[in-house]
Structure 1
Amino acid sequence: MDAYNRHDAKTFNKLLTAFISKYNDLSEAEKKPFSGNITSAYYNLSCTYALVDDKKMALAYLKKSIDAGYFNYAHILVDSDLDKIRDLKEFRSMVEPLRKIGDFLYILKKADKYNFNDKRVLPPFTYQPIDNPNLAALRKAFFLDSIAGNGNEVSRIINLMHWVHDLIPHDGSHGNPVVKNALSMIAECKRDHRGLNCRGLATVLNECLLSMGYKSRFITCLPKDSLKVDNDCHVINMVYAASLKKWLWIDPTFNAYIMNEKGELLSIEEVRERLINDQPLILNPDANWNRHQSQTKEEYLYHYMAKNLYLLECPINSEYNLETKESGKVATYIRLLPLDYFDQSPDKLEMGTTILKYNTNNPAVFWQKP
């Protein structure tokens, strides 16, 4: 990065060549963790050449980065490092095809249609009751009534989100513990000074909400990923506010909830629709990552979540310890697929003996109220 910051294309190229030589000596399995480094390195070298006005080499390495899997169309459009090649015909012909895989809002807008007449039979959603012994133990162990506070229903839900966000740092670089329930994961994080990824945080919050009597699910938000190169997704919670008669978007990773122009809280379904229809969205001002990086609605909603709201998945049964693997245990999920999605089958997918997934195109089924 020092060579990049100094706009030293020669040194950067030398370092990259050495890195690629070592990379090529690795097995396919060993290469996988470093593949993203290759695409980023090619892209940054293209930027370096563009900054020193070597247009030929800048275009050559931009092509290499795209061929290696770089597809961030939105970033390329605004990256000032590439300004000196932006008006070239070769640049435009190289970048325009990326729109179909890298312009995430454009992709999401193509996924606006569902089939409300999809009548495929699906298992019913269930929510573990408040008197479950494990949920009762969780509520008591962390004094969740005090953490939720004495305010109205919505403020109590948001207070629980704040608490989980502040209690456990987000760590997207590592997997979650083997035992995946709130009591165990909180204890392990405290003992080992570690964090959880977004799925772990949403699991902890989900169980806390259930323990307080709130109907809640955790939702895996996924990209279209037509090239099968994007392994990133994001997991958040949808919580039913009986006082509002609606689901709410609640994200413990980014301490985030979303409102319309009137300040009314929105559901995941409503946020997705508003992104597609260019309607106003407001991100709460204290949304942040790990309490030291504020979030903007442009980055969080119009880029990151626009990418990850293409298709959605959630468990059928919302309960304590859902994803801890145990002999004979099967976790069942429903996926909501837009009609635009390239892979609509099968209706039911069995993944080994532990995971079962159903597909639907009907949002009314997926978002049904408890």
Structure 2
Amino acid sequence: MDNEYLSKMTEMCKKLQACKPYTDDHFPFISKNLVDPNRSETIRRYFKENAGLDLEGIAASDLTTWEKVLKICEFVSKHICHDNQKEPLNDINAITLWEYAQRVHTGFNCRWHAILLSELLLSIDIKNHFVTCLPEDNLDQDCHVVNLVWLPEYSKWAMIDSDMEEYVTDQNGIPLSLEEMRAELVSGRKLNIHRDTNQTGLDYMQMYWAKNLYWFSMHLAYAYNLEGKDALYDTYVNLIPPQYNILEDRRYFDGMGITTNATAFWQP
């Protein structure tokens, strides 16, 4: 491992290890399934007719949930590059994002990647959130957004990232959640990262994940159109380590909830 990345990874892991344990404090936030079946049908039809993605065919196949997720993630990664978007969107959803990508071929950032993948998965009843993963340093603007998908075959969450074409597994090949990834680093173990076919950039990603698994933010609702000008209202909650103060950084606090109860935050 590159000495610079190793040094930074060690520093970031020490910050994770120094965190106080999560609590079982009261969790006053509500998670709801607000997925509109009519919108699901619209998304499936649109992507079959305009993108050649047969979501209904994938849903009806004998593939496991994880295999379906990988197939749809590969589609997003293959067709949309990582870049900072060149123009804003008032409406941010699977269809507007796909149309943007056809118009602006340089692609868009991790948040838009995660929103697109989230809505494609929801359209075939694969439960998922898109989650913002943040560093301890409030002045560090370099966070990351990925998807967390529920795998009923394993009764657990798994992280998937179409922006980086990446996921992480244990030694038996079982995909890990963000919570499990954080626990691996706290225990002093390196992450078993799977990227694109040539597995480039693994040293950097070890350091990157050690930095960006300090605290988390996500919408609790399962729904379409969670962001944008006319976003559907729902509960947006931050999971922080006990005694960590994010109040100084208003970007992630105004109108949002805060909890130190990881079990409740990561509930299915």
TM-score relative to the length of structure 1: 0.63
Q: Counting helix residues as a fraction of each chain, which structure ranks higher?
A: 1
The 4+ residue runs of structure 1 with deviation greater than 6 A are: none
Match of 2:176 among 266, 277, 297: 266
Cα contact 1:150–1:156 (8 A) shared by 2? no
Q: Considering only CA atoms, is the larger Rg found in Structure 1 or Structure 2? A: 1
Give 1:49's aligned residue.
Answer: none
Partner-residue secondary structure (3-state), 1:359 = strand
Distance 1:172 1:264, change over 3 A: same
Shift of 1:165: 1.1
Match of 1:205 among 112, 117, 120: 117
Cα contact 1:127–1:215 (8 A) shared by 2? no
Total equivalences in the alignment = 257
Give 2:192's aligned residue.
Answer: 282
- Show the 5 A alignment for 1:3-152: 75=4, 103-111=11-19, 113-116=21-24, 118-122=25-29, 124-129=30-35, 132-142=37-47, 143-146=54-57, 150-152=62-64
Gaps of 5+ in 2: 48-53
Partner-residue secondary structure (3-state), 1:318 = coil
Shift of 1:296: 3.9
Give 1:240's aligned residue.
Answer: 150
The code of the aligned residue for 2:212 comes to N
TM-score relative to the length of structure 2: 0.85
Match of 1:178 among 69, 83, 90: 90
Shift of 1:112: 5.5
The code of the aligned residue for 1:111 comes to C
Cα contact 2:133–2:212 (8 A) shared by 1? yes
Partner-residue secondary structure (3-state), 1:141 = helix
Give 2:50's aligned residue.
Answer: none
Cα contact 1:224–1:311 (8 A) shared by 2? yes
Partner-residue secondary structure (3-state), 2:96 = helix
Deviation sequence 1:56-96 (CA, Å, 0-9, x none): xxxxxxxxxxxxxxxxxx73887xxxxxxxxxxxxxxxxxx
RMSD: 2.8
Q: Percent identity?
A: 30
Note if 1:308 corresponds to 2:218: no
Match of 1:363 among 241, 262, 266: 262
Note if 1:299 corresponds to 2:204: yes
Note if 1:220 corresponds to 2:220: no
Cα contact 1:202–1:252 (8 A) shared by 2? yes
Partners of 2:224 and 2:121 in 1: CA distance: 11
Cα contact 1:258–1:265 (8 A) shared by 2? yes
Deviation sequence 1:252-306 (CA, Å, 0-9, x none): 111111111121111111111011102353222xx14xx8x84443321x21111
RCO comparison, higher one (Cα < 8 Å, 6+): 2
Gaps of 5+ in 1: 1-73, 79-98
Partners of 1:345 and 1:176 in 2: CA distance: 27
Partners of 1:208 and 1:77 in 2: CA distance: 36
Shift of 1:243: 1.1
Cα contact 1:176–1:196 (8 A) shared by 2? no
Cα contact 1:316–1:333 (8 A) shared by 2? yes
